Structure 1
């Protein structure tokens, strides 16, 4: 049987995109990677570090998950989510915002949380955790506007109207923008650092056990399951977060194996995919290959 590294490399022989992958079995420590120290645009997978920072502030007593937040017109952010479809003035708890941010990737919820915790504080917290190659500099509003070539740092009625009229396809985005010229000024991470964050959450190494369990519970309720979980057996527990912008197709999470065989982290970043379908298919095949490998080799 091929080793784990060969298993991953074999899958990527058939793809046109650029992939960064990090996989680690959380009980045995066996791991493999592709481009583990290369920076990739995180897209909406950056919502996991935001969730961790939010719960850090809850742990410190700065916020309560029961606090209610009113959503108004100036909170508008285009793209994924459901809050754009609700009546203005609706009130939701901070926990509701966190749930929406993760399970339906709600951009309004994300940016309201970022206003509560501070964009700069997310990156600072990641550095405190030793994740020096995980950088967050833009809100969802900024990320989308920069990617579309719209020079507006924050909400204006004119910009909102312009964004409402735009179609969000892979061809809509300016590939020469900062969003796709990945460096420390964008929302970028290495597969290695994102995977380490997942490992620390699983092992309850950050915050309290209850708060880490809250993060895992929210991530396990993910509604977008066409990537990491897609080829796995029905009923497989997966705690994960997808990310998409233009030809960037990502998914990162924790896959739980059956028969007390433990679990493994899986971070898959990609760019330059010829289509969303190809990117999603590759992520699903990488995960299934790792799942099958651990299913037959893991001895916990």
Structure 2
């Protein structure tokens, strides 16, 4: 682990910004952290906990996959996704909204879901899972503020807050079938495997399956996911924040660093 630590620190030392990460081989238990318990801005990685709450509600009979959500101009928000471009009055199912939220990171779909389930319900579910630091604070763009979002010290985190260690814990619970039930956990990971932003963790990993969810803000890039290697399932959460330049391209320094760190973590934690 000393060699891995040296290689990770060497990469981070060249980066202009703040880096926090945690990774674990789910087969061997070997793990590595650098700022693993830092409270970090989640950006869109908080959409994984939101998805968890939807699956739990459906399993409990509190919601149905064919529940109808209606798109209106007032509910459209900017940023990632496709619903912003679609017609007022469009009707979509709860299942479709969840898939859009993860696969395209659709911000409008996320808000439509939160209007149905509430931010506080997501956080209560995280409590049940033992994840005390993982919180959705408000809807994308504002509104729907949770109890946690009203705490002054949380305002700086924006949409959500978590730690790399807790995000990996959630991924591990999903992989072990402990979130809602085995079937629901498997389906959530299958959706994550189809998400279309592949410039972070999966970028340089060839021939391996990856289930992940990305996040992006002006000065932040983050990625949480599981890399399914022949030498073990490596779960990781990496956040690169406080970057001095705003660069909205696939060659953002944060994305490039996440890619390099992912390769190091896979190599260093493999059996």
Asked whether the equivalents of residues 178 and 186 of structure 1 are also in contact (C-alpha less than 8 Å), the reply is: no
Number of equivalences = 259
Once the two structures are superposed, what CA deviation does each residue of 1:109-144 show, in whole Å capped at 9, x if it has no partner? 0011111111011111111111111122111121xx
Mapped pair 1:269 → 2:239 = yes
Where do residues 60-99 of structure 1 align in structure 2 (5 Å cutoff)?
A: 60-99=60-99
- Could you tell me which residue of structure 1 aligns to residue 228 of structure 2? 256
Shift of 1:181: 3.0
Mapped pair 1:244 → 2:204 = no
Shift of 1:270: 2.0
- Structure number with greater Rg is 1
Q: Which range moves more in the overlay, 267-276 or 240-249?
A: 267-276
Asked whether the equivalents of residues 140 and 159 of structure 2 are also in contact (C-alpha less than 8 Å), the reply is: no
Q: Which runs of 4+ in 1 moved over 4 A?
A: 177-180
SS in 2 for 1:127: helix
Asked whether the equivalents of residues 249 and 273 of structure 1 are also in contact (C-alpha less than 8 Å), the reply is: no
SS in 2 for 1:231: coil
- Could you tell me which residue of structure 2 aligns to residue 172 of structure 1? none
Asked whether the equivalents of residues 41 and 180 of structure 1 are also in contact (C-alpha less than 8 Å), the reply is: no
Cα distance in structure 2, aligned partners of 1:30 and 1:8 = 16
- Could you tell me which residue of structure 2 aligns to residue 8 of structure 1? 8
Cα distance in structure 1, aligned partners of 2:155 and 2:126 = 22
Cα distance in structure 1, aligned partners of 2:266 and 2:10 = 15
Cα distance in structure 2, aligned partners of 1:179 and 1:288 = 32
Mapped pair 1:280 → 2:255 = yes
SS in 1 for 2:211: strand
Q: TM-score, normalised by structure 2?
A: 0.90
Where do residues 9-88 of structure 1 align in structure 2 (5 Å cutoff)?
A: 9-88=9-88
Gaps of 5+ in 1: 143-152, 155-176
Cα distance in structure 2, aligned partners of 1:6 and 1:27 = 23
Cα distance in structure 2, aligned partners of 1:186 and 1:66 = 27
Shift of 1:2: 5.2
- Could you tell me which residue of structure 2 aligns to residue 291 of structure 1? 266
Cα distance in structure 2, aligned partners of 1:35 and 1:71 = 40
- Could you tell me which residue of structure 1 aligns to residue 162 of structure 2? 189
**1:200 maps to which of 173, 190, 197:** 173
The CA RMSD measured in Å over matched residues stands at: 2.0
